Structure 1
C-alpha cells in the first residue's frame, strides 16, 4: 500500500474506531514512516550518548536492496511477512493475506500497552498487517517465486485513461527507478532486482481501486486480484483491533460501527486516481463528506526525520523525547519479535 492508505486511510479508520486525534495521528504516522525510514547513520550526542538507526525501508536507489541479509532484516519483517504455506523454505516465505502469523503478530503488539512506544508499535503493526493484504503472493527475498510475465497483465472495470497511466508507469519503472540496473551493470543484479518483492508488478498491488491479474514466470496464474475488496477487508480488521484500545486513547463520540462505516470506506477505495488525487479524496471525505462523525481536517503527514540531526547537540534524556526515538524502539522490538520469536515458533529461521 502507499501513503494514501498507510497514513490517510489509517488515520480515518483509527478515528472511526473511536481514537482521539493525537493517537490516530501517531499510529498513522508510524504506519507510513515504515516506508520512509531509510536513515543510514545514527547520531552521537553531546553528553556521549548515542542513537543508532533502525531502518525499516530503503530508498529505491539503495544497493542494499539486493543484499540477502538486508532483505531478511528489512523486507521480510516489515513488508512481506511470511505466510508459512508450501513445502520449501522459499515458498513458506511468500507473504499471505491475513495469515496466522500476521494475526499472531497483531495480537502480540496489541498486548504491549504498557510500553512507552505502544502507539508507534501499533503503527508498525498496521503497516505490516496492511501489506499482507497487498503484497500476498510475493516474498521479501530475491526468489524465482516473485518473477512474472511482463506482458500478462489484465485489468477489469478500469477507466481507459487510468489504464494508460498505470501501464505507462509500469513500462518506465525499471528505466527510471531500478537502482540495480542503473548502478550495477550485471545480469545477476538485474535478475535479483526483478525477483525481489513485487518489483515485477510494480505498484499494482498497492493501488486500492485496481482489479487485475497476471501470470507468474513459473506458469501459475495469479487469478483475479480484487484490491478494493481486499483493502476493505483490511480496513474492517484494523477498525476492529483499534476499537478495543484502552480508554486513554479514545474519543468515543467519534466511534462508528463498521456496518455504518463500511460503505463509506468502500466508496473511497473505489476512487480511481493517481496518488495525490487519492490523498485529496480521503481529505475531502473527512472534511466535507460523511466519512467521520465529525467533519474535520486530516493532519498533514510529517515524517519524523525532521530535526533529528539537530539532536546531536542535546543530551540523551532530551533526545529520547523525540518521536523518532520511540519509533526506533518500536521498530527494534518488532524486528526482534518477528525474526527471533514469532517466525521460529512456526519453524522459520529467517535471520
Structure 2
C-alpha cells in the first residue's frame, strides 16, 4: 500500500473509530512514516548527547541493503511482509518448506498476535506511534499477500496482466527482469498490489494463476483495521461506545478507491486530502497534511534538520523537547515493534529471522 492508504485512509479510520484529530494524526503519520524512515544509525548532538535509531524501509536504489538477506529480515519482514505462518496458529503443525512460513497472509494468526502485543503496550508514551506502525504492517498483510520479505523464487511473477490499466512495455520488461534476477517482495509485481483501484493477475512460481481485485482486498482491510482501532480504544476504556462504520462512510471510501485512479500514490494521496477537507466523511471537514522530511516534518521539529539525507558529520542542537518529540517517540516505537515481532512473536511459530 502507498501513502493514500497508509496516511489518509488510516486517518479516516482512526476518526471513524472515535479518535480525535490530534491522536488520529499521530496514528496516521506514524503509519506512513514506516515507508519514509529510511535512515538508521546514531544522531549526535553538539552537547554530546546521542540517539540511536533504526530504519523501517530502504530507498528504492539502496542496492547494498536490498541484496543483504539479513537486512531484509530486519526491515521487510517485521514492517512490510509479516510472515503468515501458512495461516496456521502457533499450536498447529506446519508442513512444507520454511519459505511457506514467511509468505505474507492477510489477517493471519501472527498478525492477530502482533495486534494483541500492540494493545498490551497501550499505556506507554509512544503508544499511538506504535499503533500507527502496527496499522501499517497489518494493512500490508492484505496488499502483500502471497509474497515474502526476502529474495526468493516464491516472489517470481509471470504473465503479469492488468485489467483496468495499461501495462507499459518498460514495466513489462522490468517485471520480467526482477523475476529473473531479483525476486524480492512484490518487486516483480511492480506497484500492482498497492493500487486500490486495480484488477490484475499473474502466474506464480508454482504455475498457479492468481487473480486480484484490489478494491475488494482493500475494503476487507478497511473493515478489519477499523475494528482493531475500536478494540484498542475499548481496551483502554471499556465504558466507551464503540462506533460502527456507517454505510455512508464505507461507500465514500470505496468510491474514493475506485475513482482515484491516478497511477501515482502521491497524487491519489492529494485527492484523499481534498476529500477529507471537503467533509466527505461523517466526522466533518478537516485540514490534513503530511511532510516526511525537511521543514514541517516530525524530524525537523525534533532536530531541525532541513536536509533530506543524513551525514556522518551532522551535529544538532539538543533541546529538552527532543525526548518528547513525535520523531523520537516514533523511533522508540519502531524499535519496540521490531524487537517484539522478531524476538517474541515469530519464534512462537518456529520462525527465526534475527
TM over 0.5: yes
Q: How does 1:122-271 map to 2 (within 5 A)?
A: 122-149=131-158, 152-156=159-163, 158=164, 163-164=165-166, 166-167=167-168, 170-171=171-172, 194-222=182-210, 224-246=211-233, 257-271=245-259
Cα 1:254–1:245, aligned 2, differ >3 Å: closer, same or farther? Answer: closer
Q: Structure 1 residue 174: deviation in Å? A: 7.3
- Match in the other structure for 1:320: 323
- Match in the other structure for 1:295: 285
* Secondary structure of the corresponding residue to residue 229 of structure 1: helix
C-alpha distance after superposition, 1:254-281 (max 9, x if no partner): 9663444222211111122232442233
**CA RMSD of superposed structures (Å):** 2.7
Aligned equivalent of 2:127, options 112, 115, 118: 118
Cα 1:316–1:281, aligned 2, differ >3 Å: closer, same or farther? Answer: closer
C-alpha distance after superposition, 1:90-109 (max 9, x if no partner): 11101111111011101210
* Secondary structure of the corresponding residue to residue 18 of structure 1: coil
Alignment partners' CA distance in 2, 1:300 and 1:197 = 26
* Secondary structure of the corresponding residue to residue 243 of structure 1: helix
**8 Å Cα contact 1:11/1:298 also seen in 2:** no
Q: Which has the higher contact order (CA 8 A, sep 6+)?
A: 1
Alignment partners' CA distance in 1, 2:271 and 2:169 = 23
Structure 1 unpaired stretches of 5+: 176-180, 182-189
* Secondary structure of the corresponding residue to residue 42 of structure 1: strand
- Match in the other structure for 1:88: 97
Alignment partners' CA distance in 2, 1:49 and 1:239 = 40
Cα 1:318–1:284, aligned 2, differ >3 Å: closer, same or farther? Answer: closer
Alignment partners' CA distance in 1, 2:321 and 2:48 = 13
Alignment partners' CA distance in 2, 1:342 and 1:87 = 21
Aligned equivalent of 1:281, options 266, 271, 282: 271
Q: Structure 1 residue 61: deviation in Å? A: 1.1
Structure 2 unpaired stretches of 5+: 87-94, 306-314
* Secondary structure of the corresponding residue to residue 51 of structure 1: strand
- Match in the other structure for 1:42: 42
TM-score, normalised via structure 2 length: 0.84
* Secondary structure of the corresponding residue to residue 162 of structure 2: strand
Aligned length: 327
Alignment partners' CA distance in 1, 2:97 and 2:242 = 47
